[in-house]
Structure 1
Amino acid sequence: MRIGYVEREAAVRELGEHYTAGRLDAAEYEERTSAAYAARTADDLGPLFADLPREQPTVAIPQQATAAFPTTAVPVAYDPEAPYGRDPVSGRPYSDRLKVIAALLQLFLPFGTGRFYTGHTGLAIAQLLLVFLGVGVIWSFIDGIVLLAGDPTDPQGRPLRP
């Protein structure tokens, strides 16, 4: 069974205890710690302690904790129908347009600019024409808030990216 960093460090700590007890000289300690760091399996660590007294017969390998994430990698494939990902709730592919940009354009340029950006040309022209009557500015401002707070879509029905 392969060992990891924790097991190698435990072996080096145990070798350090033998070194401080005087059972190993500096050269032996350095040689054995190098071998411990190079060890790949628990069997590779056994010979390092063959001539040393041990309270534990082998280096303790801790119980493996359960993984919080799946151990198998899920392959992520490119979806040509959803190049910007999919909405996690509905599963519909995201639009190439951003929701925040559309809302900010609509709020700060209140004559249909955000709707031109999202591709709703008819709404944008209506807001632009009504700007001259004063109603278009209010409509554009409210529409900007709706874009920001709601779930706007592009003309193909795809949700705007968050």
Structure 2
Amino acid sequence: MGSDELRIGTAEREEAARLLADHFGMGRITPDEYEIRVTDAYAATTLGDLRPLFRDLPPPHPGFFGPPPMSAPVYAQPTTQLPMYGPDPYAPPAPVPYAPSMPMPYSPRSKTVAGVLQILLPFGVGRFYTGQTALGVAQLFATFCTGVGVLWPIIDGIVLLVNGGSDAEGRPLRP
């Protein structure tokens, strides 16, 4: 008995009808042809009844028409687990590492402004300007709680003017 004489079941008929619907959706067959071919597919009893329905169509054809596909070579699985999902688009950007040989980028804050604020308003305003709020609060507390604490922000302002400093992120203040 040849393969065209083999009987088919409901699963094969439904696969053929589904593939014919795909070909109809791609515009390869007209609505009238589709209706006739699907009716013939559901009426088919052997493989030989289904083959003419796909003879003039390009693949995909029903998988049960031809010999089973050759098995693909088996390759070793990678040892590292790949992430299931891509990077989170809403996550903050990763910090850019700087090599020791690369100069640190300057802060948008100025050492001159920070120093002058420390001297003219001697209760930590210059440190609040640079983003170092903990140091600014300490200087504010020292200024109002102890009378001698006024010297600390003034000396700090002079040091900022002469040597510069850094902002809260550790970047050097602009000259």
Shorter-chain TM-score range: 0.3 to 0.5
| TM-score, with structure 2 as normaliser | 0.41
| TM-score, with structure 1 as normaliser | 0.44
Compare CA radii of gyration and give the structure with the larger one: 2
